[in-house]
Amino acid sequence: MKKIFSLLFLFAFILLGCSSDDDNGIENPNPNPVTSADFPAQNFMWNAMNLWYFWQEDVPDLADDRFSTSQEYTTFLSSESDPGRFFFLICNQHVEIVGDQAAIDRFSFRRSNYEDLVNSLSGVSRSNGLEFGVSRITPDSDNLFGFVYYVIPESDAASQDITRGEFFTTVDGTQLTASNFRQLLFGENVTYTLGMADLENDGFTLNGKEVTLTKIENFVENPIQVATTLDVNGTKVAYLMYNRFLSSFNEELNEVFGQFIADGATELVLDMRYNPGGSVNTSRLLASMVHSTDSDKLYVRERWNSKIQPQLSPQNLESRFTDRISESNPTPINSLGLSKVYILTTNDSASASELVINGLTPHMEIIQIGETTRGKNEFSITLVDDPQGSFIYNPDRENFINPDSQWGLQPLVGRNENALGFFDYTDGLAPNIELEEDLLNLGTLGDVNEPLLARALQEINGAIARKTFDVKMPALMMTSSRLETNLKDNMFLDRPIHFKQD
């Protein structure tokens, strides 16, 4: 940490050395000059990103020699009064500034209150428990419709008359459009009413059914949506629909695999079609539950920027399979010890979901069924305005966070590669067997007739007479409720970072 702290203040020392030239020896006529301290949020963002951002060397405004004087630096900080926009100006992306321009960094984000960010990473949010996708009614139409993926148990939606596969087109009587759907569905409104609809003659017609949903504060979703063991012609097949990598449910996840073992499961269908990611460490635990608890086997290796990489200890750069939940929790991992796994994916499958696939690929056979994944191979950490803690969020140091700068940043700071050194899947991981979800036949999750699960069971069963899967209405999704949360499709480190000792 001492070396990182020295790197952090190198720029400050450079500016102090230049400051004597600012006035050429003439007494400053302004007794209260504007300084970087007058822009606390922007100052924090620049220093934190200069140190940690994965593409720091590729962003001219983050270069170590970008500013020759402290006044020049202050002028740059003052050039954008909105800290939220300032953050994106110093990222290797332009999506939120100039529209849909292509960018290397598609995933770094920020929140004006770091507590909201930290809560979201723990799975705590304001939610009504309805998970859904949003699509255009026709490719050239501004009007949209929603379709229900699933309902989270013990949520408000679970107490309402709404199920997987249903459609809706209005919210509080207003037709969903490309310009209003975020405000209507993901805005500050606590309660809204969906107008349910039927598909008729290639169009949607309101059917008179209305469903009123209320968002619950501090709602925590259990990411284990379905866990069951199926008997397929005498073969015990474990089926797990896992919808988010949350460390707070690691023990529950391990218990599920314990039950699979007790059931005598010899095959596994891992359903991550709606899983947008989460904890890197939880992905390692899941991989261990699927394949092996041999800690000599490498799961993934991390690559950081050129400032951070040389400072990290070897144990920090390599994540290996494990036989226990954590160092502080010696509960043994329940592992199926498989050499083959069937994984269901869609474009909603991202970050830590993709990490599991990539990390397992060198060690076992992966049969991926569904659609190409989202393509997010970088990880992030949470940064706050605590320079003495080198900006890394630590719940034990909340009293040290600058009260004038409560922003929380979640920038991409590194990239994961598997044991073979492969990491380049920014275009997503393509399935072995392509099969889109059919909005006219979504089926029941966990049921042997649900199309994606049925296709996996067909591979396991090796049936000679193969069932055909005709997709009449593919889910051409604009976005989903999973991607509109604070957590989005983030993959984050939730463990201590160990630096080399002097």
Q: In this predicted model, what pLDDT tens digit does every residue of 47-64 receive, in sequence order?
A: 999 999 999 999 999 999
Rounded average pLDDT over 321-330: 94
Domains and CATH numbers, the chain: 2-91 (no CATH), 126-219 (2.30.42.10), 221-469 (3.90.226.10)
Residue 465 has pLDDT above 70, yes or no: no
Q: What is the pLDDT of residue 249?
A: 96
Q: What is the pLDDT of residue 310?
A: 93
Bridge partner list, 278: 245, 491
Residue 31 has pLDDT above 50, yes or no: yes
**Which of 51-65, 94-108, 298-312, 334-348 bottoms out in mean pLDDT, i.e. has the lowest?**
94-108
**C-alpha pair distances (Å), 311 with each of 11, 304, 350:** 18, 10, 29
Q: What is the pLDDT of residue 30?
A: 64
Cβ-contact 436, 475 below 8 angstroms: yes
SS3 content of the chain, % helix, strand, coil (to 5): 30, 25, 45
Confidence of residue 320 (pLDDT cuts 50, 70, 90): very high
**Rg of the Cα trace of the chain?**
25
16 vs 86: CA distance, rounded Å: 24
Confidence of residue 23 (pLDDT cuts 50, 70, 90): very low
The closest of 244, 254, 251 to 275, measured between CA atoms, is 244
Q: What is the pLDDT of residue 429?
A: 97
247 vs 163: CA distance, rounded Å: 28
Q: What is the pLDDT of residue 499?
A: 80
Q: What is the pLDDT of residue 490?
A: 77
Residue 33 has pLDDT above 90, yes or no: no
370-390 pLDDT, tens digit per residue, is: 999 999 999 999 999 999 999
Confidence of residue 18 (pLDDT cuts 50, 70, 90): very low
Residue 19 has pLDDT above 70, yes or no: no
Residue 20 has pLDDT above 70, yes or no: no
Rounded average pLDDT over 181-199: 96
Q: What percent of the chain has pLDDT over 70?
A: 90
341-374 pLDDT, tens digit per residue, is: 999 999 999 999 999 999 999 999 999 999 999 9
Bridge partner list, 168: 146, 196
Residue 405 has pLDDT above 80, yes or no: yes
448 vs 229: CA distance, rounded Å: 11
- DSSP, collapsed to helix, strand or coil, labels residue 208 as strand
Bridge partner list, 124: 220
Rounded to the nearest integer, the mean pLDDT of the chain is: 90
Burial class (CB in 10 A: 0-12, 13-18, 19+), 28: exposed
Residue 46 has pLDDT above 90, yes or no: yes
122-154 pLDDT, tens digit per residue, is: 888 889 999 999 999 998 889 999 999 999 999
**Which of 43-52, 280-289, 474-483 bottoms out in mean pLDDT, i.e. has the lowest?**
474-483
Confidence of residue 101 (pLDDT cuts 50, 70, 90): very low
The closest of 189, 197, 206 to 132, measured between CA atoms, is 197
pTM above 0.75, yes or no: yes
Residue 97 has pLDDT above 60, yes or no: no
Tell me how far apart the 2 most distant CA atoms of the chain are, in Å. Answer: 90
Higher-scoring residue by pLDDT: 12, 77: 77
Confidence of residue 464 (pLDDT cuts 50, 70, 90): low
Q: What percent of the chain has pLDDT over 90?
A: 76
Which parts of 266-316 are beta strand (E)?
267-271, 278-279, 298-304
Rounded average pLDDT over 31-58: 93
Q: What is the pLDDT of residue 8?
A: 52
Q: What is the pLDDT of residue 238?
A: 98
Q: What is the pLDDT of residue 468?
A: 80
The closest of 226, 41, 253, 221 to 120, measured between CA atoms, is 221
